[in-house]
């Protein structure tokens, strides 16, 4: 048997020495210097404590495990040693018993300690986690002006706690699970009991359980393993760094997946509209939030279609352009050696290059680099007659529009589709653009997210609150999303502004 997957299926039964040897071999105690096995005696019996240096909290180990064990009174007659240790000796909140080596090793390598004792079947797992982790900070990718400023961290426990602090109800269920065959990563399935549909929760469990992979490094990887159509361009799972947004997903009846080592929580199922909604939408008055949504959508449409329409109009349909605009295009293009199609592709490529470089350059330099590169390169390209000034405007507007997408994966999808549409426009003008757009629309309309239609509640029409394209007033949002349990479809009975006699809901 390889060292990668040793005797982990073995059961921790039999003599103490055999169990100890099994654990030593399984945890590679002799090879890993940070895997520590402390042997001592408890109530006159041999015992050993297995833990990882740095993952377990030294102070808790010392004060609540080692010291009480070594100073333990003798086991009273007629009382099993295991009961004596659990009930009298160990002042630890969470103690579980394990008889499987694999389960024991998973917990120990997650920061817990394992106590083996002569005369006790199996082992005790003691919760003494105390590894280094980042504190709660502002979310980086979902910053808002109005609303809470807390973000998730890489600690699963902290993330669940952040959610619990918002949703103080026993209806919030957090099911522990793990994903990954060889190096399991802890995972938590969160949902509001009764609000989320039972079949959706079951489907999430089935998909998570069906991930046949050695290790899951983060939420992005898990997303790709559980989504309905992995070949589709559009994201089918929405991720958030914000506890308040995650809570709103729960209230809509969605199921959340929180993963250890991921500072994002995944929500399923989703609709396309979730990707257009910004986290601060609910914190603002409906007029402002609706206006911002319209601006964002206009930006995204600009990003998607503007370069393609520009190429189509100038290359194929110049009779359709009004004379002043046509003159401006021809004048701008007259001194440029590259064709308009090639210039557009090059400029879009350069824009994406600047964006990617700006993302990878550390800290504040990234933003500065983007601005400087765009200014210098754009000006230099126009001065050198490599591109027309009009094209710079088109590409800049399209780029700006793609940044208006509140979801980063959606923004990338838009930029890829933007390239495809420019290629189609170069091949067939409006005709090429139309064919590709129609095909993309057909694809999107056929997509599902965890079997729920992707463009619902618009296509197909579904009963849901009116928080769709526009964000209608809060007091009109008496229904949850169409995704949740229909029996709990209404958020409230009667009018939300019950004090207002003139409000007819």
Partner 1 sequence: MIKDNVNKIIREKTQTTSETTDMASLRRQRFLVSRMERDTLLSIEVFAQLFIGFTLYALPRASTAVWWSVLLTLPVIALMGALAFSVIKKRGCGMPRPLLVLPILLLLLDMQFCQLALCEMVGGAWLPRAGRLSIAVWVSVFLLLSLLACSPHSVSRLSRFLRVALLLSLAFCFFTSLSYGDAGHLFPVMGAGADKALLCALWLCGGVWCVILPAYMPQTQDSLEILKSRRRLPGLAAAALCAFIAISVCFAQPAYALARPRTWSDRMLLFIALNDSTLSWSLMTLGLSLLLLSSLTGALFQAGALIESLCGKPWPVYIAPLLLLPAGVMGDRGALAVMEIIAPYRALAAAILLGATLLWQRGQKA
Chain residues that interact with partner 1, rule: CB under 8 A:
309, 313, 316-317, 320-322, 325, 428-432, 434-435, 438-439, 441-443, 445-446, 453, 455, 458-466, 472, 476-479, 486-490, 504-505
Which residue in the block uniquely carries the two structure tokens 């390239």? 419
- Least Å distance between CB 425 and partner 1? 11
- Least Å distance between CB 268 and partner 1? 19
| Residues 453 and 273: beta-carbon distance below 8 Å | no
What are the structure tokens assigned to 232, written together?
A: 């589709």
- Least Å distance between CB 339 and partner 1? 17
| Nearest by Cα to 201 from 181, 172, 179 | 172
| Nearest by Cα to 90 from 51, 49, 56 | 49
Helices 16-27 & 101-108, crossing angle to 10 degrees?
50
Handedness of CA 425, 306, 437, 444 (dihedral sign): positive
- Least Å distance between CB 436 and partner 1? 8
- Least Å distance between CB 460 and partner 1? 5
| Residues 257 and 187: beta-carbon distance below 8 Å | yes
| Nearest by Cα to 275 from 302, 235, 306, 303 | 235
Helices 389-403 & 286-315, crossing angle to 10 degrees?
140
User: Looking at beta carbons only, is 298 or 435 nearer to partner 1?
Assistant: 435
- Least Å distance between CB 458 and partner 1? 7
User: Looking at beta carbons only, is 26 or 429 nearer to partner 1?
Assistant: 429
| Residues 358 and 370: beta-carbon distance below 8 Å | yes
- Least Å distance between CB 446 and partner 1? 3
- State whether residue 353 is helix, strand or coil: helix
- Least Å distance between CB 462 and partner 1? 7
User: Looking at beta carbons only, is 82 or 485 nearer to partner 1?
Assistant: 485
User: Looking at beta carbons only, is 6 or 428 nearer to partner 1?
Assistant: 428
- Least Å distance between CB 435 and partner 1? 5
User: Looking at beta carbons only, is 68 or 428 nearer to partner 1?
Assistant: 428
User: Looking at beta carbons only, is 81 or 425 nearer to partner 1?
Assistant: 425
| Residue-by-residue DSSP string for 202-213 | HHHHHHHHT---
User: Looking at beta carbons only, is 38 or 443 nearer to partner 1?
Assistant: 443
What are the structure tokens assigned to 182, written together?
A: 């060889």
- Least Å distance between CB 31 and partner 1? 51
Distance of alpha carbon 7 from the chain centroid: 34
What are the structure tokens assigned to 374, written together?
A: 């765009």
User: Looking at beta carbons only, is 400 or 435 nearer to partner 1?
Assistant: 435
Cα–Cα distance measured from residue 100 to residue 13, given in angstroms and rounded to the nearest whole number:
9
For 201, phi and psi rounded to 5 degrees?
-60, -45
User: Looking at beta carbons only, is 11 or 326 nearer to partner 1?
Assistant: 326
User: Looking at beta carbons only, is 157 or 443 nearer to partner 1?
Assistant: 443
User: Looking at beta carbons only, is 386 or 470 nearer to partner 1?
Assistant: 470
User: Looking at beta carbons only, is 152 or 309 nearer to partner 1?
Assistant: 309
| Residue-by-residue DSSP string for 165-206 | HH--STTEEEEEEEE-SSB-EEEEEEEETTTS-HHHHHHHHH
| Residues 28 and 3: beta-carbon distance below 8 Å | yes
- Least Å distance between CB 169 and partner 1? 21
Print the SS3 string covering 394-409. Answer: HHHHHHHHHHCCCCHH
Residue 310: is the preceding peptide bond cis (ω within 30°)? no
Cα–Cα distance measured from residue 486 to residue 500, given in angstroms and rounded to the nearest whole number:
28
Cα–Cα distance measured from residue 6 to residue 26, given in angstroms and rounded to the nearest whole number:
6
User: Looking at beta carbons only, is 136 or 445 nearer to partner 1?
Assistant: 445
- Least Å distance between CB 301 and partner 1? 13
β-strands 113-117, 123-126: how paired?
A: antiparallel
| Residues 277 and 470: beta-carbon distance below 8 Å | no
Distance of alpha carbon 280 from the chain centroid: 18
- Least Å distance between CB 16 and partner 1? 56
CA distances to 48, 307, 401 from 396, in Å: 65, 10, 8
């Amino acid at each position: 048997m390889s060292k990668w997957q040793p005797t982990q299926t073995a059961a921790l039964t039999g003599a103490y020495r055999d169990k100890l040897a099994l654990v030593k071999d399984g945890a590679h105690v002799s090879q890993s210097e940070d895997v520590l096995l402390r042997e001592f005696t408890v109530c006159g019996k041999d015992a050993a404590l297995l833990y990882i240096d740095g993952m377990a909290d030294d102070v808790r180990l010392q004060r609540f495990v080692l010291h009480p064990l070594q100073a333990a009174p003798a086991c009273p007659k007629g009382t099993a040693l295991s009961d004596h240790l659990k009930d009298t000796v160990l002042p630890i909140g969470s103690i579980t018993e394990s008889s499987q080596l694999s389960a024991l090793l998973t917990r120990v390598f997650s920061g817990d300690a394992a106590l083996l004792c002569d005369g006790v079947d199996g082992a005790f797992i003691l919760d003494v986690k105390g590894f280094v982790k980042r504190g709660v900070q502002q979310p980086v990718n979902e910053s808002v002006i109005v609303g809470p400023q807390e973000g998730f961290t890489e600690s699963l426990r902290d993330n669940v706690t952040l959610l619990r602090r918002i949703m103080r109800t026993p209806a919030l269920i957090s099911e522990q699970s793990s994903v990954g065959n060889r190096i399991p990563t802890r995972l938590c399935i969160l949902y509001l009991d009764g609000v989320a549909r039972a079949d959706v929760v079951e489907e999430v469990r089935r998909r998570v359980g069906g991930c046949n992979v050695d290790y899951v490094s983060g939420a992005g990887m898990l997303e790709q393993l559980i989504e309905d159509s992995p070949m589709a361009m559009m994201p089918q799972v929405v991720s958030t760094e914000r506890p308040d947004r995650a809570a709103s997903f729960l209230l809509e009846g969605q199921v959340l997946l929180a993963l250890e080592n991921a500072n994002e929580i995944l929500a399923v199922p989703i609709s396309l509209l979730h990707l257009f909604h910004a986290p601060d939408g609910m914190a603002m008055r409906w007029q402002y939030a609706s206006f911002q949504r319209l601006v964002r959508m206009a930006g995204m449409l600009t990003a998607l279609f503007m370069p393609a329409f520009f190429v189509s109009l100038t290359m194929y349909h110049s009779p359709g352009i009004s004379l002043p605009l046509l003159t401006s295009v021809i004048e701008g293009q007259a001194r440029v050696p590259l064709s308009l199609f090639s210039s557009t592709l090059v400029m879009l490529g350069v824009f994406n290059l600047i964006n990617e470089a700006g993302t990878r350059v550390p800290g504040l330099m990234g933003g500065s680099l983007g601005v400087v590169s765009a200014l210098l390169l754009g000006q230099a390209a126009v001065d050198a007659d490599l591109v027309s000034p009009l094209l710079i405007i088109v590409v800049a507007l399209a780029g700006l529009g793609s940044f208006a997408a509140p979801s980063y994966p959606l923004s990338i999808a838009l930029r890829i589709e933007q390239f495809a549409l420019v290629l189609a426009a170069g091949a067939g003008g409006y005709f090429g653009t139309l064919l590709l757009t129609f095909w993309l629309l057909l694809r999107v309309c056929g997509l599902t997210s965890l079997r729920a239609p992707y463009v619902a509640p618009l296509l197909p029409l579904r009963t849901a609150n009116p928080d769709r394209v526009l964000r209608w007033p809060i007091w009109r949002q008496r229904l949850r999303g169409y995704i949740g349990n229909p029996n709990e479809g209404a958020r409230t009975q009667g009018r939300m502004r019950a004090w207002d006699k003139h409000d007819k809901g």
